[in-house]
Chain A
Amino acid sequence: MNAIEITNFHKSFGPVTAVDNASLTVKPGELFGLIGPDGAGKTTLMRAICTLLLPDSGQILVNGMDTTRDVGKIRASIGYMPQRFSLYQDLSVAQNLRFFADLFQVPPEERTRRLEQLYQFSRLEPFRNRLAGDLSGGMKQKLALSCALIHTPDLLVLDEPTYGVDPVSRKEFWDILRTIQQEGTTILVSTAYMDEADQCERVALFFRGRIAGLDTPDGLRRDYPHPLYRLEGSDLRALRRFFQDIPTVHSIQLFGDALHVSFAQPPQPGDWRGWQDAVGSSLSHWEAHPPTIEDIFLDLIRSAS
C-alpha cells in the first residue's frame, strides 16, 4: 500500500485552477519533494492530502484511506507543518510541545522519551522556556517540525519548511529530515528552492497546477535531452548576446557567475575555438556540465508552453 496515492486530482478556486489533474504516488518510507515556484499549486495539493481541502474531482488516498471519508483517522495519523509558522507565538517552546502532545494524546511515558529525542535533534532544549515568537527563523521551523512529530506519525507533510531560513539552518533541517526518514517515516515536502530537489529521493516538478516532471533527480537529469555547458567569462551579458544568435543553441540561463547554455545539436571542438576567437576574453572557460534541476525545470516549462 502506498503512503499517498493521488489520482487525477483537480481543484479550482472560482475561476483559478490551482491543481489540474495531478496524479502521483508516494511510497512508504520515501522522502518525496514537490518542487515548484510560488502559486504552482503545491500548498493546495498538500492541504488536500491533509483533508483540509476537498477535491473537485479525483481521489487522494493516505495509507489507503480516502481524504473525503476518513478525515478523522487521516488527521490523527499524519504530521502536518503548514507553510506559515502556525504555532502559538505567545507560548514557550515547551508549552507548544506539551499542547500538541496533549492534543494527540501522547501517553506520558512515551512523551518523555519522544521529547528527549526531539530536543536532541532540534537542539532546542536550552531554549525550552523561550517564547516561540522570540525564536530565530530556523529554530521556529525546527520547533514546528518537532510539534508535527510529537505523536510519531508515519507520514509527515511539510509545506515549504525551509522558506525564509538561512542556508546553514536549511542544511541542518534537511539533515534532520533524513534522520527522521531513516526511522521509517514517509516525508512529503515542498520547496520553491530548486537546489533542494537533490535532497529528495523522488520529486514532482510543479508548474501552474500541473506536474511537469516526476522522477528521481538523477532520472530527471538523465532524461534531459540537450548537451549542456557551463560558461565562465568576464562579460556574461556580452556572452549571452553572442550565444543567442548561434543557431544550434537551445537555451541560455544565467546561474550566478556563469551561463548554462544548452544545445539542440552537440557542439564540436572546432565550434568552441571559433566562438572564443569571436568573443575574445569574455569567454574564459567552458565545460560540459550535468543539468541542475533548475535547468530541467525551465526546459520543461518552455516545452510545456
Chain B
Amino acid sequence: MKTHLARIIAISKKELLHIIRDPRTLIIIVLMPVIQLIMFGYAMNLEIQRVDMAVIDHDRSRTAVDLQEAFRQNGFFNLFPYEGKLADAEALFLERRARVILMIPADFGKHLQREPLVPVQLLIDAADPNAAVNIQNYCNQVIRIFNERYGSALALPFEIESTIWFNPDMKSAYFFVPGILALLLVMISALLTSITIAREKEMGTMEQILVSPVRPYEIILGKVIPYAVLAFLDGALILFLGMVFFQVPFIGSALLLAALVLLFVITALSLGLLISTVTSTQQIAMMVALFATLLPTLLLSGFIFPIPSMPRILQLLSYVVPAKYFLVIVRGIMLKGNTLTQLLVPAGFLALLTAVLLAGAWKKFRVNLE
C-alpha cells in the first residue's frame, strides 16, 4: 500500500512540475474563469435595462401622463416623446432609436372611465426575440399595476399573480455563475487530463514508464490528482468571484456542494481518461475533448437553453451530459438551499455516468503497446 501511494505521489509530483514548467497551461487555468466571468457577466448580459421607449401621446390627458410615469418608475424603460406620425415610427426601429413604441390613443383618459376595454398600442422590435419577449413581459407588468391603481371597470373572475422565487430579480448572474462553474470544471478535468495522457503516448514516455513496477491505476490517479485539485481551486475562485462581484447568493451547505463538485470532477476526469485511451496525440485528444465537453456543456446542459424546449432527440442526448445534473445540483444548493435527499436523483445519475465512463476507460486503458 505504501509503495503504491509513493508511486502515485511520484507521478503527481512530476505532473505538477509539468504544470509549473508550462506557464501557458497555468495562465489558462487561472485566467479562464476570470475572463469567462467577465464575458458572461458584462458582455453577454441577458437582463434588459434602459430600453428606449418612444411615446406617441395622442391624448395628453392626466391619465396618459400617469401611464407614462408608471413606465418610467419601473426603471427598465427610458421614455422619450415622439411627435411624428405612427406611420413614420418604423424609422425609430430602423435607426435603433427605440426598441418599443407606446401609442396612447386620443381620449384615452376619458374612455378609461367609461369603457371596460381601452386599447393601448405597443410596438416591439423583435429583431432580438429574447429581448422582445422580456420587453413585452415588463410592459404587461407595468400595465397590470397601472390597471389595479385605476380600478379598471372590467372585473375579472380571477387573476394570476405570479411570484418569482429564488431569483426574483431575474438576475442572469444566478444562472451563469453555476454554468461557468460546470463548464470550467469539465474543461479542466476532461480536457487537461486527456491531453496529459495523450502527451505521454505521443512523446513515447508512456512506453518508458510502463516498463516499471507502476500500475495503470497509479498512473491514472497520479495524473488525475493534481488536475482535480486545480479544478477544485478554480471552482472555489469562480464561486468567490460570483459571490463578490455578482452577488450570487449561497443558501445551502458548502460542504455538500464541495462533495458534489468532487463527484462532478471525477465524472469529467473519467470522461477525459476515456478520451485519452482512444486517442494517440495531444491534438486529437484536445479536439475530441473540446467536442465532447464544450458544446454539450454550453448547449445541452440547460446552462443557456432550457432542455424541455429542445427537440426530443436532443433531450435524450442531454441525459449523458454530466453538466445537466451538475447544474441542477449547483443551482439547487446555492439558490434554493437543497439538501442531499432532495438532490439524490441528479447525484445518482452523475454517479451512474461516472461508473460507466470509468469502466470504459478501465477497459480501454492499454497496459502495453498492443
Interface presence of A174 (CB below 8 A): no
Q: Which residues of A contact B212 (CB under 8 A)?
A: 75-76, 100, 103-104
Query: How far is the CB of B211 from the nearest CB of chain A, in Å?
Result: 4
Instruction: Give which listed residue, B14, B368, B369, B370, contacts A99 with CB less than 8 A.
Output: B14
Q: Which residues of B contact A51 (CB under 8 A)?
A: 211, 368
**A52-B207, A82-B207 known; A103+B22 contact, CB < 8 A:** no
Q: Which residues of B contact A105 (CB under 8 A)?
A: 3, 6-7, 213
**A80-B211, A99-B10, A103-B214 known; A52+B368 contact, CB < 8 A:** yes
**A52-B207, A103-B213 known; A88+B369 contact, CB < 8 A:** no
Q: Are A86 and B204 in contact (CB under 8 A)?
A: yes
Interface residues of A, dominant DSSP: loop
Instruction: Give which listed residue, A50, A84, A104, contacts B213 with CB less than 8 A.
Output: A104
Chain A, interface size category, equals 20 to 34
Query: How far is the CB of A95 from the nearest CB of chain B, in Å?
Result: 6
Q: Which residues of A contact B3 (CB under 8 A)?
A: 105
Interface presence of B208 (CB below 8 A): yes
Residues 205-218 of chain B: 1 if any A CB is under 8 Å from the residue's CB, otherwise 0? 10111111111000
Q: Are A102 and B367 in contact (CB under 8 A)?
A: no
Q: Which residues of A contact B154 (CB under 8 A)?
A: none
Alpha-carbon gap, A88 to B22, bound state (A) = 13
Instruction: Give which listed residue, B18, B203, B213, B369, contacts A47 with CB less than 8 A.
Output: B369
Interface presence of A35 (CB below 8 A): no
Interface presence of B13 (CB below 8 A): yes
Q: Are A53 and B370 in contact (CB under 8 A)?
A: yes
**A91-B14, A102-B10 known; A82+B368 contact, CB < 8 A:** no
Query: How far is the CB of A281 from the nearest CB of chain B, in Å?
Result: 53
Q: Which residues of B contact A87 (CB under 8 A)?
A: 205, 208
Alpha-carbon gap, A76 to B7, bound state (A) = 13
Query: How far is the CB of B309 from the nearest CB of chain A, in Å?
Result: 48
Query: How far is the CB of A288 from the nearest CB of chain B, in Å?
Result: 46
Residues 6-45 of chain B: 1 if any A CB is under 8 Å from the residue's CB, otherwise 0? 1101110110011001100000000000000000000000
Alpha-carbon gap, A102 to B3, bound state (A) = 10
Residues 94-138 of chain A: 1 if any B CB is under 8 Å from the residue's CB, otherwise 0? 010001101111000000000000000000000000000000000
Alpha-carbon gap, A54 to B212, bound state (A) = 17
**A75-B210, A78-B211 known; A86+B203 contact, CB < 8 A:** yes
In chain A, positions 53-109 with a C-beta closer than 8 Å to chain B are: 53-54, 71-72, 75-76, 78, 80, 82, 84-91, 95, 99-100, 102-105
Q: Are A103 and B369 in contact (CB under 8 A)?
A: no
Query: How far is the CB of A185 from the nearest CB of chain B, in Å?
Result: 16
Task: For B9, give the chain A residue with the smallest CB separation.
Answer: A102
Q: Are A50 and B211 in contact (CB under 8 A)?
A: yes
Alpha-carbon gap, A54 to B10, bound state (A) = 28
Task: For B20, give the chain A residue with the smallest CB separation.
Answer: A90
Q: Are A54 and B7 in contact (CB under 8 A)?
A: no
Q: Are B208 and A86 in contact (CB under 8 A)?
A: yes
Q: Which residues of A contact B18 (CB under 8 A)?
A: 88, 90-91
Query: How far is the CB of A256 from the nearest CB of chain B, in Å?
Result: 34
Alpha-carbon gap, A18 to B99, bound state (A) = 73
Return 23 A-B CB contacts under 8 Å, by A number: A47-B207, A52-B368, A52-B369, A53-B368, A53-B369, A53-B370, A71-B367, A71-B368, A72-B213, A75-B210, A75-B211, A86-B203, A88-B18, A89-B203, A90-B22, A91-B14, A91-B17, A91-B18, A99-B14, A103-B7, A103-B11, A103-B209, A105-B6
B positions within 8 Å CB-CB of A: 3, 6-7, 9-11, 13-14, 17-18, 21-22, 203-205, 207-215, 367-370
A positions within 8 Å CB-CB of B: 47, 50-54, 71-72, 75-76, 78, 80, 82, 84-91, 95, 99-100, 102-105, 147
